[in-house]
Amino acid sequence: MASFSMVNDKLMDLNIPYSIKRSCFSSHALLDLPASGIVSIPLAQTGEGIAECELLKWFVKEGDQVEEFQPLCEVQSDKATIEITSRYKGTVSQIIYVPGDIVKVGESLLKMVVEESQGSNLTSNAPDDMKSMGAEVCDSSIQSSDLRHSNTGGVLATPAVRNLAKQYGVDINHILGTGQDGRVLKEDVLTHAVQKGLCKEPSSLSVNSVEHFQGEEKYSHTLAADGWQYEDKTVPIRGFQRAMIKSMTLAAKIPHFHYVEEINCDALVKLKASFQEENRDPEVKHTFLPFMIKTLSMALSKYPLLNSCFNEELQEITVKGSHNIGIAMATPHGLVVPNIKRVQLLSILEITKELARLQQLALANNLCPEDISGGTITLSNIGAIGGKFGSPLLNSPEVSIIAIGRLQKVPQFVDDENVYPASIMTVNIGADHRVLDGATVARFCNEWKLYIEKPEQLMLHMK
């Protein structure tokens, strides 16, 4: 299940890690590269286990001069967003994919005319394992013919245009292309579809309407004689949402149990207000979440089994030495769970700064794989949205996940039956019942509750 937090008045999910913008070379190597000619640039392997990426945007266009190490495009896997850079200098001859397309590792992203000196250098420096990728290389004279005919169907068109033709059920080979070298454009597909009676006139079906077939997230509607008629749309699964699908599918196979407890946060509210009052750093804003993260780490030190991972295949439990606490975040790009590394070694102030840094990266879609990988337990601040509590699903292979409800003032009784207002927070701990039992989780929660309700205990035991 997704867990969320509010960051700068935006809905976010709770997972955050380290940050360095990653770049990958677009061409790992070229086979038998001529002194000068046109080469096909494949999508490089962007990380372990990554088979495909979504193309987000191009930094170059056809005809552009490209320098060595210049960014070519930005792609997104289910783990991170990565810039693809060029290994050499040349001219962009053909761009094969458009933003929104899914590109498999090893498939050609674009074609470039490589200068003579670059061609000889690449051939001599290319390692054997890269040459095995078999990059396409051809002469300029051969390429001019290749530009007129695509490998798939004999017509030059981008994958997005081919997909649009497929959705209308028309054969792209029967469409007259009006683009350069006979390229079939989106407008050509729409015109052909209108002629066949498959869609409305171009005046009512604009280029903006085409974006609905390419997954743009906005509603489309047409005005009919009998009122508004809303159209269906197909939205492709991309980026972090793909990772969430994989993770939640695995989670559905894990035997969960949940433990719910109420925690009095009166002392924590006063401590947070005191910290903020004495704060002299305008870039630091004290919130409850860093306190929850630090107290969680303190409780994990006494009950380390909750900070472990389970390997079902080997039937092994690995108790993690570092407390890499994931914070689930709902971003405009999807749900991500980066993690704060080695929380047991950080102060509350350091956690506050690291949390802010990771939240900024998540909002900008600049989290790298190191930020997202290596988590040992996940914290979901569902209360930042407004829920009293949630029932979170495990982020496999972790064995525990915690959802925090919203802080609310409720009446409480003291021993003499007097009533007073208390700041109460509900927490829900989801656990893997193959590894953890109810008694262990209850004792862990009691320890965590002690540090939250009595922050002086946190200071007493903090190293």
Whether 381 and 452 share a structural domain = yes
Contacts of 160 (CB under 8 A, 6+ apart): 98, 100, 101, 186, 214
Among candidate residues 139, 181, 281, 437, the one labeled active-site is: 437
Q: How does residue 194 score in pLDDT terms, banded at 50, 70 and 90?
A: confident
Instruction: Report the percentage of the chain scoring pLDDT > 90.
Output: 34
* Domain end point (choices 203, 230, 257): 230
108 belongs to a structural domain: yes
Helix (H, G, I), strand (E, B) or coil at 208: helix
Q: Of 134-143, 260-269, 299-308, which gets the smallest average pLDDT?
A: 134-143
Whether 165 and 129 share a structural domain = no
Dihedral (CA of 164, 169, 174, 176) sign = negative
Distance in angstroms (rounded) separating the CA atoms of residues 444 and 296: 9
Whether 96 and 175 share a structural domain = no
Whether 329 and 419 share a structural domain = yes
At residue 453, the pLDDT reads: 95
Whether 193 and 247 share a structural domain = no
Going by C-alpha positions, the residue among 431, 432, 426, 429 that lies closest to residue 452 is 426
At residue 204, the pLDDT reads: 42
Whether 186 and 318 share a structural domain = no
Return phi, psi of residue 457, to 5°.
-70, -35
Q: What is the mean pLDDT of residues 234-251?
A: 83
- Please state, as a whole number, how many other Cβ atoms lie within 10 Å of the Cβ of residue 63: 8
* Cα angle 357-360-366, degrees, rounded to a multiple of 5: 105
Q: Which has the higher per-residue pLDDT, 200 or 339?
A: 339
Whether 186 and 273 share a structural domain = no
Helix (H, G, I), strand (E, B) or coil at 241: helix
40 belongs to a structural domain: yes
Give burial (CB, 10 Å; 0-12/13-18/19+) of 152.
exposed
- Residue 323 bears catalytic tag: no
E strands of 294-451, at which residues? 308-311, 316-319, 325-327, 329-331, 334-336, 339-340, 377-380, 400-404, 408-413, 419-432
Q: What is the mean pLDDT of residues 342-348?
A: 94
Long-range contacts of 273-282 (CB under 8 A, 24+ apart): none
64 belongs to a structural domain: yes
| Domain hosting residue 182, numbered range | 159-230
146 belongs to a structural domain: no
Q: How does residue 117 score in pLDDT terms, banded at 50, 70 and 90?
A: low
Q: What does the pLDDT look like over 15-45, one tens digit per residue?
A: 333 333 444 544 343 334 444 588 888 888 7
Decide if 68 contacts 87 (C-beta within 8 A). yes
Return phi, psi of residue 275, to 5°.
-60, -45
- Please state, as a whole number, how many other Cβ atoms lie within 10 Å of the Cβ of residue 146: 17
Q: What is the mean pLDDT of residues 445-460?
A: 92
Whether 266 and 357 share a structural domain = yes
Q: What is the mean pLDDT of residues 432-443?
A: 97
Which ranges in 311-397 belong to alpha helices (H)? 348-363, 369-372
**CATH number reported for the structural domain that contains residue 97 in this entry:** 2.40.50.100
Q: Which has the higher per-residue pLDDT, 379 or 17?
A: 379
Whether 214 and 317 share a structural domain = no
Q: Which has the higher per-residue pLDDT, 157 or 313?
A: 313
91 belongs to a structural domain: yes
At residue 354, the pLDDT reads: 94
Beta pairing class for 52-58 and 71-76: antiparallel
Helix (H, G, I), strand (E, B) or coil at 49: coil
186 belongs to a structural domain: yes
Among candidate residues 139, 149, 174, 433, the one labeled active-site is: 433
For the chain, what is the mean pLDDT? 78
Q: How does residue 319 score in pLDDT terms, banded at 50, 70 and 90?
A: very high
Distance in angstroms (rounded) separating the CA atoms of residues 126 and 146: 25
257 belongs to a structural domain: yes
- Residue 433 bears catalytic tag: yes
The widest CA-to-CA distance across the chain, in whole angstroms, is 95
Q: Which has the higher per-residue pLDDT, 2 or 282?
A: 282
Q: What is the mean pLDDT of residues 131-158?
A: 43
At residue 60, the pLDDT reads: 92
Q: What is the mean pLDDT of residues 8-13?
A: 42
* Domain end point (choices 230, 249, 267): 230
At residue 457, the pLDDT reads: 87
Whether 115 and 212 share a structural domain = no
Contacts of 285 (CB under 8 A, 6+ apart): 276, 279, 352, 356
Q: Which has the higher per-residue pLDDT, 202 or 352?
A: 352
Distance in angstroms (rounded) separating the CA atoms of residues 164 and 186: 8
Whether 184 and 257 share a structural domain = no
Going by C-alpha positions, the residue among 392, 395, 377 that lies closest to residue 341 is 377
**CATH number reported for the structural domain that contains residue 184 in this entry:** 4.10.320.10
At residue 214, the pLDDT reads: 41
* Domain end point (choices 230, 259, 282): 230
22 belongs to a structural domain: no
| Domain total of the chain | 3
Whether 325 and 450 share a structural domain = yes
Q: How does residue 377 score in pLDDT terms, banded at 50, 70 and 90?
A: very high
At residue 241, the pLDDT reads: 80
pLDDT > 60? residue 131: no
**CATH number reported for the structural domain that contains residue 367 in this entry:** 3.30.559.10
